[in-house]
Structures are given as C-alpha cells and as structure tokens.
Chains A and B, each alone.
Chain A
Amino acid sequence: MNALFSQLVMLGSSGMLLTALIVLWRKSVPSYISAYRWQAWLLAAVTATVAYFAGDRQLFAVAAALVALKGFAIPALLRTMQQRFGAQPQIKPYVNTETSLCVAGLLVMFAYVLARPWMAVTHLPTRGGLPLAMALLFVSLFIIVSRRKAITQVIGFLMLENAIALLAVVGTYGVPLLVEVGVFLDALMGFLVMQIFVYHIHETFDTIDVEQLTHLRH
C-alpha cells in the first residue's frame, strides 16, 4: 500500500517537473498556460492522494480549492491576458532552448544533492517527492530569470508557488488549514496584482518585453 502511495506521489511530482520543462522547451505562451494548467491539476491530484492515504480530510478541501483556483480561475485569467496582447513578435529569451534545458538538468541534479540529508531525516512514504519539489523550485526560478516576456515571468512565479505547495504537501502532509488559507489568498492577490502590472507595462511600453524596462540605471 505504501509502495503504491509512494509511486503515485512520485509520478505526480515528476509530472509537475516535466510541465515546468515544457515552459523551457516551447516558445508559445498558450502552451505555457496549458503546461501551468496541467501542473495545477497534478498538484491537486498529489494533494488528494496524500489526503486519501494519510486520512486527512482537510487536504481534500485544499485539493478542491487548488483545482478551482489554480486549475480553472488562474489559467482563464492568463488566457484573457494572452488574448489581450494579441500577436507579439517572437521575443527570444535570455538563454536559448538547448542551454535552458541543460541548465534545468543541472538544477535537478543540484536539487537531488541538496535534498539527500532531508530524505534521511524523515520516514514518510512521500519523501521521494522532496527533491522533485526542490528541483521544480529551482527550475521555476530559472524560468523567471531567463525569460523576457513579462507574462512568462508571471507563469514562472506561479510555478514557484506550486513548487512550494508541493514541498509542503510532500514533506509535512500540508500545513495547518489557517496557513493554507492565508497562502491561497496571498497567491491569488499576488497574481491579480501581477496581472494588473502586465497590463500597465503593456500600456506604458507598448510591449511586454521586459528588456525594454531599462530606464532606471544606477
């Protein structure tokens, strides 16, 4: 039973990591939004799996909220944003695709090395997901740093939040409900504000290429 639990959680976490790699691989924003949607659903699935096997009812509610918020609401808002900006010229990222993918591989290795001591500490059956959550964290950070479209940076940030949520679920079977609610609200507000800002950038600069944001130096 524990082995099945472990395998399912590992499968879900690997899936989440792969969706982050899709953002590094593909070049079109609608594919990023689909990747994020898959990631959110996988996170909800992992949370529900942990809820089922660990017998924690509250996590079911958390999983449902995840689906509602990150599986439906946020991708819909992202899609509206994407349609608003219409056809943007192909903006090359700071790091090209092959290098990005290789760097992502290195980051995954780094995450595995970093997570070794933690895995030794705990006996939870979900501990296999810890390095994957850390890897997702680092890859999301890399996405934020290496991409030039503001909307891609927002998606990278959303994936960062997913990574931390996965870390909490896999490492500690979730955090207390009050904290969960607070983090949800924060995530939602943060996303809404970022959305407002992408609109601002588009209105002021007529592009969402953040390379143009270079007025302020020293």
Chain B
Amino acid sequence: MLTLSLLLGPPLLASCLSILVRRHARLVGWAGVAGLSLSFAASIALCVEVVTGGSATAGHALPDLWHIDALSALVALCIAFVALLASASGPGLVGRDDGYDEAQTRRFRIFTNAFAFTMLAAVTIQNVALMWVAVEATTIMSAMIIPLRRTKASVEASWKYLLICSVGIALAFTGTVLAYFDFVATAGDVPGSLNWTALRAAAPSLHPELLQLAFAFILVGYGTKAGLAPMHTWLPDAHSEAPAPVSAMMSGVLLAVAMYAIARWKAVVDAAVDPAFTCNLLIGFGLLSVAIGVFSLVIQRHYKRMLAYSSVEHMGLVSIGLALGPLGVFAAWLHVMNHAVAKSTSFLLAGRVLHRYDTTEIEKVTGLLRVMPWTGPLFAAGVLALVGLPPFGLFVSEFLLVRAAVLTRRFWLAGIVLLLLLTAFVSLLGHLNRMLYGDAPAGVRVGERGGWAVATLAVSIGLLVAFGVALPSAISTLIHQSVAALIP
C-alpha cells in the first residue's frame, strides 16, 4: 500500500503544487523532479516485491481497485523512469534560456506531472472501465502540453491528436461496454465484474461472437492510442510538434500503455475464443504498422518525425510479438522496455539538437559530431539502438521476436519483418550520416559543455547497452512473470 501511494502520489502532488504555487518556480520544478525520483524508487520496490513475492502483490492491503502483477510493475517501472528523465530535462530548471516563458513552464509542469500520474494509474488499476478513464485522461493531459508554443503547426497537430485519439478511445469504450454487456447477460450484475481477473475467469462462458466484436472495437480503439496503422496519422504530427520531454513521454511510454491495455484484453478474449483470431488481427495491424513506419522513414525530411515514425514501426513489432506465443510475448515486453529507454533518450537528445540548430530539417543539421561533441555521439547511439544494432538491447528483443516467428512456423512473417527492418536500417543510417558528418552550418555555435543533463542521457544509453549485453536476471524474471500473467 505504501509503495503504491509512493508511486502514484508524488506526480499528483507535484501537479497540484505547480497549480497552487506560482513563485519560486525553479524550486517547484525541482520538487517535481524529486517527487518523480521517489516514484521511480517506489516502482523499483514494487518490481522487487512482485519478483520475490509471487505474481501478485499483497491483495489484502490494497483496496479492490488496484492490482499489481508483474506486467503492471514492469510497465510502471518504464513509465516512472521515462517520466523522471523527461521532467529532469524540462524547461525552467536551470538558469539558461529554454525559449519558454513562465506561463508555459508552469503549464508544462502541471500537465506533465498529471500525465505521468494518469499513465501510472492506468497500468495499476484493475477495473477495465476505470483503466479506460485513466487512458482517456492521458489523452487530455498530453494534448494540453503539445501546443506549448502556440504555432500553427503545433495547434494543428494537437487538434488532430485530440480528435483522433478521443474517437479511438470512445471506440475502445464501446468494446468495453460490449464485453460488460456479454458478462451481465451471462452472469448477471456481480460487483467487481469489471475487473480483469473476473472477466478472465468468466470468459469461457461468454459468447465468442460478441467477444470477437468487442475485441475488434478495442483493438481499433486502443490501437489508435498505440499508433498502429492505419490509425496512426496523428502520431508523426503530435510527436514532432510537442516539446522534447513531452515527445519522450508520449513516444516512450504512452504507446506502451495502450499496448498494455490491448494485451490485457487479448488475454481475456483468448480464454473464450480461439487465439488464432486475436493473433491474426494483431499480426495484420502490426505488419501494416511496421511497413508504413518503415516506408515513411525512407522519404523523411525532419528528424523528429523520423523518430516518430520509428515509434510506429516499433509498436508494430510489439503487436506482432504479442501474437507469437510465450516467446513472442517475452520478446514484445522486452522490446517495450528497451524501446521506452531508447526512444525517450533519443527524443530528449533531439530536443537538444533542436535547441542548438533551431531547425527540424535533416539536411540543415550537419556536422553534429563537431558542433555538439557530447550530444552528437549519444544521438548516434540512440538512433543505432533504434535501428536494432547490437550491442543495444533492441537487438536482443528483435532477435527473439524473429525467433518466435520461426518457432511458430510463420517463416513468411519472419522474412517480411527482417526485410522491413533492413529497409529501416538503411534509411535511418542514411539520415543519421547526413546529420553527423559535414561542416557546421553558419550561425551555429560550435562546442558544448558537458553537464549533468547530458550525463543522465549518457547513463540511459549505458542502460541500453547493459540490457543488450547482459540482461539482469531480476528483469528477466519480471518479464517471464508478465508472460505468465498473460498466458497461463
């Protein structure tokens, strides 16, 4: 109970603090960072608790609303980590000019903390409808901070995001109501009937066609939030126009939260319907996402949009992984974790590049290695990690994914995925090359002081290498337990 309140409380309190206290802005900002580090520590404690204590935390201490098993703990860990990283890179913390005024900085703090709170709530609540409420709240909170600087592009991006994701979420609620409708029609109105555990237990007695239809709605709905094609059209705009810390949170973990919801529902529906149904749907959407993400990477001209499309591709890979049996699910969640770290770091580094070069176009950013001797190599490392090169963690998860495809005798899928990953490799590397080498453009200050901000990002990259070379056994156990929670 204590760990849970330490997990959820600090972001909420930090948000309220930012609303109420207007002076001593920098102090408030640092208080928020401190709160999120407390959350991060709590999430680590929760993971330890789950790994040692079995697949569910002490239920008697928690009210019936919350239920934390291995999967929740894993995703909560990713969320807390990325939130901490993003908030530490936020504006107004150090004296230098970030380009945001006081009102914008305050709005940033209020809504980023609220955003982190709603994401954490979404993965720890076990009532499906309240989880939905939390996911809808994440849309609203994040939409408020995308147009931090009110330009035409950012207003357009945030309007598309808000409308498309709200519609998607409404469809997901329709699916939820349909499943609940089936439950009530079969079993009557039982208290606690909207909890995962109850739905899963009752699933074999529910009607297959209804659940299939409900899952279709849910996949389309939460898939819109997760950036699966063809509902991904909001993603490149929103993720590229948002300020870098917000993009990091959205790309890194918000997509993962949506995939979490889909995975939970898949477990429920698979108990009633032949798993081939959900697997085929997930593979279909996933493959489409990977294809569209990769091909959009080829013609890309803005580096932030490039990173955004890479998210679409990776979420497609996760979706495919969820459909490939236990090894695939393991690979999927490992991929989610690695991607959260890699993508958030890359976006934060891209933010630094944007601040220095003042342009988002790839061809106008040249000589990165010389202009920013700290950020440049780190950014290169981030992009190489996203491409899936060893020794970074994403290589391991992608390898396991392909292996899972082969093990389940879907050789064609393995082949197509490998081909698409190769295309992504070539395009991303091409873009990266153009950015790293060459002469510095006129008017851009050369040279960079190292600071603690860059140091934290270097640590993240180091984490990625660590995950790739030697995954700590605790994390491995945690992911195994998550798989067991989904596939009994």
Q: Pick the contact of B174 from A121, A167, A172 — CB < 8 Å? A: A167
Asked if B163 and A175 make an inter-chain contact with CB atoms under 8 angstroms apart, the answer reads: no
> Chain B residue with minimal CB distance to A214?
B156
Report A's interface with B, CB cutoff 8 A: 114, 117-118, 121-124, 137, 141, 144, 150, 153, 157, 160-161, 164, 167-168, 171-173, 175-176, 178-179, 182-183, 185-186, 189-190, 193-194, 196-197, 200-201, 203-205, 210, 213-216, 218
Q: In the assembled complex, which residues on chain B have CB atoms less than 8 Å from the CB atom of A182?
A: 129-130, 133
Asked if A215 and B177 make an inter-chain contact with CB atoms under 8 angstroms apart, the answer reads: no
Q: In the assembled complex, which residues on chain A have CB atoms less than 8 Å from the CB atom of B66?
A: none
> Chain A residue with minimal CB distance to B212?
A117
> Looking at chain A's contact residues, is the secondary structure mostly helix, strand, loop, or mixed?
helix
Given A123-B185, A172-B181, A185-B133, 12 other A-B residues pairs in contact with their CB atoms under 8 A: A122-B181, A164-B173, A175-B194, A182-B129, A186-B133, A186-B140, A189-B140, A193-B140, A200-B158, A200-B159, A213-B159, A214-B156
Q: In the assembled complex, which residues on chain A have CB atoms less than 8 Å from the CB atom of B143?
A: 193, 197
Asked if A190 and B140 make an inter-chain contact with CB atoms under 8 angstroms apart, the answer reads: yes
Q: Pick the contact of B156 from A114, A176, A183, A213 — CB < 8 Å? A: A213
Determine how close the nearest CB of chain B comes to the CB of A129; give it in whole angstroms. 12
4 closest residue pairs by CB, A with B: A182-B133, A213-B156, A179-B129, A171-B181
Q: Which of B28-36, B145-153, B421-429, B467-475 sits within the interface? A: B145-153
> Looking at chain B's contact residues, is the secondary structure mostly helix, strand, loop, or mixed?
helix
Determine how close the nearest CB of chain A comes to the CB of B50; give it in whole angstroms. 26
Determine how close the nearest CB of chain B comes to the CB of A192; give it in whole angstroms. 9
Determine how close the nearest CB of chain A comes to the CB of B160; give it in whole angstroms. 7
Asked if A216 and B241 make an inter-chain contact with CB atoms under 8 angstroms apart, the answer reads: yes
27 A-B pairs with C-beta separation under 8 A = A117-B213, A121-B185, A144-B163, A157-B163, A157-B167, A160-B170, A167-B177, A171-B181, A172-B181, A172-B189, A175-B177, A178-B130, A179-B127, A179-B130, A183-B133, A186-B140, A190-B140, A190-B166, A193-B143, A200-B150, A201-B155, A204-B155, A215-B153, A216-B156, A216-B157, A216-B236, A216-B241
Report B's interface with A, CB cutoff 8 A: 127, 129-130, 133, 136-137, 139-140, 143-144, 147, 150-153, 155-160, 162-163, 166-167, 170, 173-174, 177-178, 180-182, 184-185, 189, 191, 194, 207, 209-210, 213, 236-237, 240-241, 296, 299-301, 305
Asked if A175 and B129 make an inter-chain contact with CB atoms under 8 angstroms apart, the answer reads: yes
Asked if B127 and A201 make an inter-chain contact with CB atoms under 8 angstroms apart, the answer reads: no
